[in-house]
Amino acid sequence: MKHATTKLIAILLFAPALGLAQDKVSIDDFAFLTGYWKGTGLGGEVEEVWMPPVDGRMFGIFKLSGDGELSFTEYMEITQQEGQWVVRLKHFNPDFSGWEEKDDHVTFHLDSVRENEALFGGLTYKVSNGNELEVTVRLNYSDGRTVVEPLNFVRQSLQAAAR
């Protein structure tokens, strides 16, 4: 799977769902993402790590690989921007060159959050059974196609991963 990226950048809108009002949301409402997750999606193997919330922010890293090759990575942040909760992310090629310009990033604005689920525009996170994470992303490709891609993860132990 060579650079399986036709630049999967998506800025999308899903209809807002019921959940907490923006002014009642805190960073702790996203703590359900904390951990190391491994699974499949986007035609390959996916891994995602979210650090616990600290000082009003959460940070994470995503990796897509297949056929023994790294396809791309993302650096992610959940934070408040101009009074609204967002996921901001930057994509990187295997050689660590960025997709976005130096000062640019992709932003998904929060539509709703409830227990174990957060909807950010075209990006949805949902944890079920405490150990299963489904991330759904709506992608707009440069050729005009729009595709909704599910990524399915299972919570992993960092100690087991290090072996």
Contacts 24+ apart (CB under 8 A), 17-20: 17/111, 17/112, 17/119, 18/112, 18/114, 19/111, 19/112, 19/113, 19/114, 19/117, 19/119, 20/112, 20/113, 20/114
With respect to residue 8, please indicate whether it lies within any of the assigned structural domains.
no
**pLDDT recorded at residue 21:** 57
Rounded Cα gap, residues 52 and 28, in angstroms: 9
With respect to residue 12, please indicate whether it lies within any of the assigned structural domains.
no
With respect to residue 61, please indicate whether it lies within any of the assigned structural domains.
yes
With respect to residue 9, please indicate whether it lies within any of the assigned structural domains.
no
Residue 85 sits at φ, ψ, to 5 deg, of -75, 140
CATH code of the domain containing 154: 2.40.128.20
Q: Give 160's pLDDT tier (boundaries 50, 70, 90).
A: low
Residue 4 has pLDDT above 50, yes or no: no
**pLDDT recorded at residue 143:** 93
Provide the domain count of the chain.
1
Residue 44 has pLDDT above 70, yes or no: yes
Rounded Cα gap, residues 2 and 92, in angstroms: 14
Range of the domain at 42: 22-158
With respect to residue 147, please indicate whether it lies within any of the assigned structural domains.
yes
**pLDDT recorded at residue 163:** 55
